[in-house]
Amino acid sequence: MVLGYDRNDKTIEAFRSKGFAVINVKDLLNQLEAGAAKTDNISDTLILMPSAELSRARGGFHYMSMPVLRDTV
């Protein structure tokens, strides 16, 4: 599973050419909430995050991400 920006067209095409599925994070979250997808079954997938606001603020992707699976505190 790879997280990326939705505006990086060349990156998206490069992942597709290597056999990765590409999904918008909003669509994925809807599938997860509906039980139509499970995080354990996601592999070779590029998950696209909206980038308009973050790129305007000159931040990086790591500022809006955290591990999907974390140890219990």
Q: How far apart are CA 58 and CA 73, in angstroms?
A: 32
Sheet holding 45-49, edge to edge: 2-5, 45-49, 21-24
The answer to whether the CB of 10 falls within 8 A of the CB of 68 is no
State the pTM of this model: 0.72
Within a domain: residue 26? yes
Give me the domain span that covers residue 38: 2-51
Q: How far apart are CA 12 and CA 58, in angstroms?
A: 21
- Tens-digit pLDDT profile for the chain (73 aa)? 888 888 889 999 999 999 999 999 999 999 999 999 998 889 999 999 887 766 666 666 665 556 666 677 7
If we measure between CA atoms, which residue out of 42, 10, 41 comes closest to residue 23?
42
Say how many domains are in the chain: 1
The answer to whether the CB of 25 falls within 8 A of the CB of 49 is yes
